[in-house]
Amino acid sequence: MSFTATVQTVNGSEVMLDATAFYPAGGGQSADHGLLRWNGGEAGVADTRKDKVTGLIWHKLDGTPPAVGTQITGEVDAARRWRHMARHSGEHLLAQSFVRINPAFAVDAVNMTHPECTLDLRGDPTEADVRAAETLLRETLARRRLTLETPTVSEADLPNYPLRRETKVRGQVRLVIFRGEDGQPFDVSACGGIHVPQASLAAPVVALRTERIRGRVTRVVFMAGEEASEYLGGIYRDCRALAQTFSVPVERLTERVEALRTDLTDSKADAAQLREKLARVLVEATPPDAQGLRWLELDDPALLLPVLSGVPTGEVRVALSEGGRCGVASARPEVHAGELLRGVLAVTGGKGGGKPELAQGSTLKPGGFLAAVRAALTSTQTS
C-alpha cells in the first residue's frame, strides 16, 4: 500500500504529513510500520500515533527526517497491516459469538498488540462457553459469506443498527458491519479500526486459554488469521514428532502421555518406599556413639530426610550427603536441632536451620562437619 504526501511539520524524529495511509496505535491495536521515500533519502516508519489535541498523525522515523515541504512516497508494511486486520476482525467476530452464547458475556477490554490477543469478558464464561463460542464462529465462517461494510452514520441513526455494545462516540460514527448474503448482520460495532474485507479471511479464530483477572472478568486469549494457522501448524508438527517418539499416532498422544505420567507417579512412589527401606537399613547398621550421636554419611541426598525420620528418645542423628547437603534430627530436649546446625555451619560455612526436632542445610566444608558437630554437642552437654 503506497501513497504520496507532503511533509507539513517536523518534530525531532517525527513528521506530520498532509495525508497518510498509516494507521496509528489505538483501540487495542498496534500502529502501522513502513517506509517513507523522497528524492535523496528514505527512512523507516517505526511508530505511528495520533495527536491527542489535533487528531493529526505523527510518524516516528528511524532515520533523519525530510524537511518541511518535501514530497514523499509512503509505503505501509502490508504483511504487518494484514496481521493487524485479521486480529481486529477476529476480535469483533469472537466477541459477537460470545454474546450469542450468552448476552452477559459483554466485552470489558481488548488488546491486539501481539499475536496472542486478549478479549476481557464479563459474566464468568466457563471453558464450555469458550468452546461453544469458538465452535459457533467456526461454523459461521464456514457456512456464511460475511462481507465487511463500513458506513458512517449520524448519532441519531444509531438506534437503527443492532450494535453489539453501546458506543461513546458522538456526531458522525463509523460502523464496522459483517453482513451475510441474506442481508442479516452477524456483528455491528462502532469502530475506527482496520479489518479484513471478508470475515472468513480472519479464520481460523482460536481460543487458546482463559485467565481470571479480576472480579467477574475473564480474559480469553485468542489468535486469528495467518498467525493462528502458523501457530496451530507448528503445534501439530511438534505433537507429531513427539508422538513418533512414543510410536503412537497424534490422536493417541494424550492417552500415551497420561499413561506415562501414571507410570512416573507409581515409580516415584516405589522409589520413595525403597529409599525409606534403605534408610532404615543404614540407620540400623550405624549404632549411636557414647554421646548418643548417630552419624551417617550418604551417597544420595534424597536419603537425607528419610534417615532423619523416626529418631528415638535420647538420640541425636546427623547426616551428611554428597555435595554438602546436611541435616540434624534431635529427640533430646536440651539439643535444639536448628540451633545446633546453625552453630556448626557458622564454623564450616554454609546456610541452614530448622525446628527443634529437625533442621537441614548445606555446608561448604564437609570434611570438618562431623568434628564441628561433636564439638557443639560436647559444649551443649557441659553447659
CATH of the domain at 29: 2.40.30.130
Are 12 and 133 within one domain?
A: no
pLDDT of residue 252: 95
pLDDT of residue 372: 92
Cα–Cα distance, 333 to 314 (Å, whole number): 8
The answer to whether residue 15 is domain-embedded is yes
**Domain limit, last residue, from 76, 95, 125:** 76
The answer to whether residue 266 is domain-embedded is no
Cα–Cα distance, 63 to 78 (Å, whole number): 21
pLDDT band, residue 383 (cuts 50/70/90):
low
Whether the per-residue pLDDT at 28 is higher than 90: the answer is no
Q: Which strands sit side by side in the sheet containing 107-111, from one edge to the other? A: 107-111, 117-122, 217-224, 205-214
**Domain limit, last residue, from 76, 102, 129:** 76
Are 182 and 290 within one domain?
A: no
Q: What is the pLDDT of residues 173-220, one digit of tens each?
A: 999 999 999 999 999 999 989 999 999 999 999 999 999 988 789 999
Kind of pairing between the strands at 358-363 and 325-330: antiparallel
Mean pLDDT of 237-244: 95
Q: Which of 336, 331, 380 is nearest to 359 (CA)?
A: 336
pLDDT band, residue 381 (cuts 50/70/90):
low
Q: E-assigned strands of the chain?
A: 2-11, 14-17, 34-38, 41-50, 57-61, 71-76, 107-111, 117-122, 147-149, 152-154, 172-179, 185-190, 205-214, 217-224, 293-298, 316-321, 325-330, 350-354, 358-363
pLDDT of residue 133: 97
Q: Which domain holds residue 155?
A: 81-240
Are 117 and 205 within one domain?
A: yes
The answer to whether residue 253 is domain-embedded is no
Are 95 and 210 within one domain?
A: yes
Percent of the chain at pLDDT exceeding 70: 99
CATH of the domain at 127: 3.30.980.10
Lowest mean pLDDT among 22-31, 124-133, 257-266, 311-320: 22-31
pLDDT of residue 3: 94
Are 45 and 154 within one domain?
A: no
Cell of 81: 497491516
The whole-model pTM stands at 0.75
Are 103 and 170 within one domain?
A: yes
Cell of 18: 498532509
The answer to whether residue 271 is domain-embedded is no
pLDDT of residue 110: 94
Whether the per-residue pLDDT at 67 is higher than 80: the answer is yes
**What is the gyration radius of the CA atoms in the chain, in angstroms?**
34
Whether the per-residue pLDDT at 54 is higher than 60: the answer is yes
Looking at the structure of the chain, the number of domains it has is 3
Cα–Cα distance, 374 to 376 (Å, whole number): 5
Whether the per-residue pLDDT at 380 is higher than 80: the answer is no
